[in-house]
Every structure is written in C-alpha cells, then in structure tokens.
Amino acid sequence: MKKSLFAVCTAVALLALFAGASLAAATIPNFSGKWTWKNEAGDTFTINLTQKNDIIKGSHEATAENGAKVDSSNGEISIYGKYVDGAFLVEFRSFVSDTKGRAMMRLEDKGKVLLWQLVNYPEGEYYIPQGNVYMKKVAK
C-alpha cells in the first residue's frame, strides 16, 4: 500500500511539474516581428525579432543625426536573449564599435508596444538609443 501511494504521489507531482512548465511556456508573450521607433530629431531604431519559446534572436538598425550615422547588423543576428521574469534580457552587438551591450525588452499596452531599455551600454561609439524606447510593431 505504501509503495502504490508513493507511486501515485510521485506521478501526481510529475504531472503537476510538467503542467506547470508547459503553462509557464504558454504564457510567454510573442515578441516576434519588426518593431520600430523614431524621435523628433530623426533618429530611428528598428529591430527584427524571432522568438522560439523563451529564446529570442534578431537584427537591428539604428540611425542618428537624421540618418547620417548608421549602426546596422545588415540582417545578421545581433540580438540574442532569454525570457526571465516577464521580460527578455538580451545581449546585443553594436556594429559601429564592435562591442556588446545588454538590454531589457518587455511588451506593454496589451502587446502593442515593445519597451527597449539599455541595461549595460556598449563601449565606444554606438547609435542604439538610450533610455526608455517605446517601439511600435510594423504591420506585415
């Protein structure tokens, strides 16, 4: 009797664990797509993201001084990260200085807006915007 009770408890615990894991994976919002931002000075920032479960990767293009300065990955993967506590924590590479930085990405306004925040700035020159950058999804 003790063995079968132990087996049932173990099976229930495993089912709860797997159900919780798949429920957690199912609650990760979809960040995939093209997101863009532009300010009054003409600076722009665009990212193309592909998400698979809790992993994200993508490319970027940033311009400054009304397009005179460009930081672009030219479609190469320059953004890579993992979903943690409601946001993607990503590492990105500036192609101007060939250095890495870190950022946090979170969806807001029911998934209509992507918040990009630099957490660690890349060394040297880069044109990826600082501060809170609220990006809109580009329609297909």
| Tens of pLDDT, residues 83-139 | 999 999 999 999 999 999 999 999 999 999 999 999 999 999 999 999 999 999 998
CA–CA distance, 112 with 35 (Å, rounded to integer): 10
CA–CA distance, 66 with 64 (Å, rounded to integer): 5
CA–CA distance, 49 with 59 (Å, rounded to integer): 7
The helix (H) or strand (E) run that includes residue 137 is: strand 132-137
Number of domains in the chain: 2
Q: Are residues 112 and 51 in the same domain?
A: yes
Full domain range(s) for residue 85: 33-137
* DSSP of 30-54: ---EEEEEE-TTS-EEEEEEEEETT
Band (pLDDT 50/70/90 cuts) for residue 11 is very low
Whether 39 shows a pLDDT value over 80: the answer reads: yes
Q: Are residues 67 and 115 in the same domain?
A: yes
CA–CA distance, 29 with 115 (Å, rounded to integer): 13
Residue 12 is predicted with a pLDDT of 41
Q: Are residues 111 and 94 in the same domain?
A: yes
Q: Which of 129, 139, 136, 117 is nearest to 63 (CA)?
A: 129
Residue 66 is predicted with a pLDDT of 87
Residue 8 is predicted with a pLDDT of 43
Q: For residues 1-22, b (16+ Cβ closer than 10 Å) or e, as one string?
A: eeeeeeeeeeeeeeeeeeeeee
Mean pLDDT for the stretch of residues 28-42: 95
Give the CA angle between residues 11, 16, 18 to the nearest 5°: 95
Mean pLDDT for the stretch of residues 25-54: 93
Q: Give the rounded percent of residues in the chain with a pLDDT score beyond 90.
A: 77
Largest CA distance in the chain: 77
| Tens of pLDDT, residues 59-78 | 999 999 988 999 999 999 99
Q: Are residues 10 and 55 in the same domain?
A: no
Whether 20 shows a pLDDT value over 80: the answer reads: no
Band (pLDDT 50/70/90 cuts) for residue 3 is low
Mean pLDDT for the stretch of residues 19-28: 56
Q: Are residues 63 and 19 in the same domain?
A: no
Q: 89 near 101, Cβ under 8 Å?
A: no
Band (pLDDT 50/70/90 cuts) for residue 27 is confident
Q: Are residues 14 and 54 in the same domain?
A: no
CATH number assigned to the domain comprising residue 79: 2.40.128
